[in-house]
Structure formats: C-alpha cells, structure tokens
C-alpha cells in the first residue's frame, strides 16, 4: 500500500499553510473548507492533509479545523514567492483550473525520474550497462561501444547524483 508523503512546511514551500479565518474578515462565496480532504497525519505543527483536486499538501496549523473558514498564511522568508505560487495553485485547483508546479523544469523532472530508476536498478543489483539499456533503449546503448559511450558516463552521473539525493 502506498503511503502519502507529508513534508514539513518549513522545508517545502509547496505546502499551503492554513489557519482559522480571523474574526472580522469578510468571506465571499465558496472557500477552502468546500474542498474534499484526504485523511491526514497530525504532528506538533498541526494536521497535514492532501486536497483531493490536485493532491496538494495542506498544513492546518495548530488547532485549525478543516470544516471552518480558512485563511492561508505566508511566512515572509526567502521562500515566500514559492509559497505564494503554491497558494495560487491551490486556489486554482479549488476552481478546477489545475496549474502545474513550475519549480522544476520538465528536464529536471525527467532527470530526477532517471535518478530514481537508476537507484531502483542498483537496488536490484543491475549493472550500469543494464540500467543504461533500460533508460535509453537497446538501440542507443551498445555493448561494443560501452566503455567510451556517453550513455555510460551519463548513467554513472545519474547513479552518483541519485545516491547523493537519497
């Protein structure tokens, strides 16, 4: 069974921090409390849940309840801009206008995926040649040219960088 991963809000600026709406602030129609939330995890920060549309992680800080009117807060630190973008993605997901997380480029996501596949291959005791063949295909990776192949060096870098990240 796959378990959701919950990041600490101070580490991942993609976590949307929510608190009870302060008294006196007027609310319009619809709110974050209308969003279906997946079961979560409670710690000293508060309740960590995932929103069903978009699957974003939300941190309901302190004793905040998911069924009350909510307000998002942004700590004014070096990650404030990323936190603001996370709130925008969350608001758009409420209105079914999904916006991808732009903090990683497509190439960066692809490289991270390759690193994970390299680590999986390593865990299964696959050779670097077998991993490169799985990643790049038999047509591009040849045993005859393996010792001087760009794919060999790229595979070594992917394994090395994947191990650093793990």
Rounded to the nearest 5 percent, the helix, strand and coil shares of the chain are 40, 15, 45
Inter-residue contact 98 to 54 (CB < 8 Å): yes
Does residue 111 share a domain with residue 151?
yes
Q: Is the pLDDT of residue 33 over 70?
A: no
Edge to edge, what strands does the sheet with 46-51 contain? 37-42, 46-51, 57-61, 16-20, 70-73
Q: Is the pLDDT of residue 48 over 60?
A: yes
Does residue 74 share a domain with residue 31?
yes
Tell me the average pLDDT across 32-39. Answer: 68
Whether 7 is covered by a domain: the verdict is no
Its domain, for residue 46, covers 16-94
Does residue 120 share a domain with residue 73?
no
**Domain final residue pick, 49, 71, 94:** 94
Q: What are phi and psi for residue 121, nearest 5 degrees?
A: -60, -40
Q: Report residue 32's pLDDT band, with 50, 70 and 90 as the boundaries.
A: low
pLDDT digits (tens, 9 = 90+) for 80-90: 999 999 999 99
**pTM for this structure?**
0.60
Residue 67 vs residue 123, higher pLDDT: 123
Tell me the average pLDDT across 24-46. Answer: 74
- Give how many domains the chain has, as a whole number: 2
Does residue 73 share a domain with residue 33?
yes
State residue 3's pLDDT score. 63
């Amino acid at each position: 069974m796959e378990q959701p991963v919950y990041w600490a809000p101070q580490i991942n600026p993609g976590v949307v921090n929510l608190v009870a709406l302060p008294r006196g602030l007027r609310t319009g129609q619809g709110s974050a409390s209308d969003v279906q939330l997946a079961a979560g995890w409670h710690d000293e920060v508060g309740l960590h849940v995932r929103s069903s549309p978009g699957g974003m992680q939300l941190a309901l800080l302190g004793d905040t309840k998911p069924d009350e009117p909510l307000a998002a807060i942004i700590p004014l630190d070096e990650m404030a801009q990323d936190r603001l973008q996370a709130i925008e993605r969350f608001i758009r997901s409420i209105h079914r206008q999904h916006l991808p997380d732009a903090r990683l480029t497509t190439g960066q996501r692809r490289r991270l995926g390759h690193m994970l596949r390299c680590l999986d291959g390593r865990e299964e005791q696959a050779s670097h040649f077998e991993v490169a063949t799985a990643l790049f295909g038999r047509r591009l990776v040849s045993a005859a040219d393996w010792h001087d192949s760009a794919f060999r060096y790229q595979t070594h870098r992917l394994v090395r960088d994947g191990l650093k990240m793990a």
